[in-house]
Structure 1
Amino acid sequence: MAPLLALRQKSHFSPQAIYVLLQKPLGLGDLLMLSPFLLELSARSHALPVFIVTEYPEFFTIPNAQWIGPEELTAGRCEHALVLSPTLSWKHARYLLHAGWVLGYFLSDHLMCNFTRSTVRYNARQSHYFDRTFPISSILDALWASPSAGPEYPVIMQEPFRAVELPETYCCIAPYSNWPERQYPKDSWAQVIKALQKYFPVVLIGGRAPAELAMAEELAQGGAVNLVGRTTIAEVAGIIAQSRIFLGNDAGLSHIAVLSAPASVVIFGCVGGKQRIPLDSELAAHIRVLGGGSSCSSFPCYNGFSRPVCNNHEQYQCLGSISPEAVVDEALSLIEECG
């Protein structure tokens, strides 16, 4: 595809629309970590309509942008449009032969473009997640206005959850991750829940995956309120925002929490936490990241695209080395610090 794209180099830039590809298996966290770029793009696109192409429902607002499903992005719509892929996904490569103008990561971590030259490469192991959009922004700088002073983050849409009356004060925990390389051990979560219940009730949140539902049911036997699989994205965002503190793995709900919870403790495994939290000092002041990557010679093992494979004799030691006591201490300390 790359040689074919080279033959379709454009000498002028005149798209009629912009489509930003953010399709699964990219998760909620990917959309949120790239949200500053989406805000910047929509602010600088002028009269060009911007479409966010994803299977997820709209759960934060990007002014002047419309959310659409992948089935709506036909070859005909691509023909006279700029198609952007701000992060690598093989699903996005199918648009290369149809798009009038392309910009982004389609086949590798090298930035691909058919209307200007670029030799930028993104280092997924070392750089912050948002860094992959800086090269895109630099190209857009040459086309449109200068960038804003710094990354801005959107407000997550929230709805009240009325099916269950929640405690007045509670700790919110999302204990599940679909990758074992990001999954804090279930037994350790059970100890964290038991310890925190001495201070306030614990509310469990999460999605509808069978493994997630089974884990939550087991963890809730100690008395936690189990709302896993019972909420919409907007409802779970409201539950997080009303909590005293949020705790979770490196997963989508944690990325909602770091933008909306009064305090957050996030446990990272295969990738560094500092490369995933918001680039905003006020938000970062309410976030603590825990990870045991320093104990692993292969850390970080996530390359930004392929699921990592743990080669250690003691698997997932980056997660198992974090004691429940350390998690609880970090949570209580952060609550005190945040008032």
Structure 2
Amino acid sequence: VLTDMGFTAPRLPLAALALSAVGCASILLTRHIDRRRRLPLSAAAHFKWVRKHFSNVERRAELNLAVEMALECGKAIMLSAGARVQWKDDNGIDPCTATDEANEALVMKAIAQAFPTHALIGEEGSAKAGCIPSLDTETPTWIVDPIDGTQNFVHGLPLSAVSIGLCVYGRPHLGVVYSPHLDELYVGVIGSGSFLNGRRLYGDGCEQVGQAMVITDVGYERSPTGIKRMGAVTASLLGSSVRALRIIGSSVLSVCCVASGRASAFYCGMYEKDCPKPWDWCAAYVIANEAGVVFKRLDGSAENAARAFDVMDCPSACCAGSEVLAHTLQTMVREAMTSA
């Protein structure tokens, strides 16, 4: 084969060429380059679309600050490979890094200066206090996860995100999620839609398990009972010929994948220890809800308009791009958990 340099490159076996092609395709898919939609290639450089799409929202100042802080924290993540790790549990499963703490401090300081009457809830601050503060429905409250997917971050797997959400009157009102390794900025505001790098988001609308890409998370549970329960749910899905079952290690990004139509559904919290916390849900919930994603509780409690999905008190949950799939997944997971 004649190359641009004027010499002949060795011929590769077809299998090697095929693997090389698959590898290249995987890289392109991972970067989510979509030339047909001509998505912006840099969320940080092109986030003026936020002001365009949300020019009439009531809390523009809060939204602009959330975007600026998310991008700033994203830069810190990219510059902090090999950060010092501390462990929140005795088993060395739940990590905290200096970057987590620095990011949270940065966001909290900026919010406190800009909005001194607002309340603040952060993952690392709550961990140190040993409890999650209650949500005052009369006070606008920010809920922050400085790095979601910290295990991925610690191990150098480029699947982590900054999550900044704002609750108003006790309900999630706006959400900003930034995935720095993919340079993807998700933004949603209640009543105004949600967007990824300027592209309007919609769930994929899938209704059949056999056509669904489903994401889950194993969390921190390692007891025989917990493992058996997770295995039972996995077996149920595989037995129903689910098209694909994935674990990406970030609840925030998992929900955002459902919002963007890259995945059909997500479920988690099969054991009490692994129940998502407010910072896992708040921002991503707004983004997904505005994309038409349906959320369901998995804990078996009665659902009504007031308690159908509460980011401050949701033991376990699933979400999907259609009501039909959300209900089907809810039923399957509940039955498998009960039988385990």
Normalized per residue, the structure richer in strand is 2
TM tier, smaller: 0.3 to 0.5
